[in-house]
Amino acid sequence: MRKQKVVETEPLLYIVQPKAMRAAAHMQETFTWTNRPQQKETTDDTEQIEEGEEQRAFFIKKEFQAMTLDEQLAFLTRLPAHLPPLKCQFATKEQSYEGVLKRCTATELTVADERGNETAIGRAQLLSVTMIGFMQ
Domain contains 122: yes
Question: Shortest CA distance to 106 belongs to which of 67, 72, 70, 80?
Answer: 70
Inter-residue contact 75 to 59 (CB < 8 Å) = no
Inter-residue contact 88 to 129 (CB < 8 Å) = yes
Which residue range forms the structural domain that includes residue 78? 64-134
Domain contains 48: no
Domain contains 81: yes
The number of distinct structural domains making up the chain is 1
Q: How far is CA 75 from CA 12, 121, 136, in A?
A: 67, 18, 20
CA 36 – CA 33 distance, rounded (Å): 9
Model confidence at 77: pLDDT above 80: yes
95-121 confidence digits (pLDDT tens): 999 999 998 888 999 999 888 899 999
Domain contains 114: yes
Model confidence at 41: pLDDT above 60: no
4-36 confidence digits (pLDDT tens): 777 777 767 777 777 777 777 778 878 787 877
* Paired residues of 82 in beta bridges: none
Contacts for 97 with CB less than 8 Å, ≥ 6 apart: 89, 90, 111, 113, 119, 121
Query: Residue 45 — pLDDT band, cuts 50, 70, 90?
Result: low
CATH number of the domain enclosing 111? 2.30.30.100
Q: Does the pTM exceed 0.75?
A: no
- The number of CA neighbours under 13 Å toward the Cβ of 38 is 2
Domain contains 7: no
Domain contains 124: yes
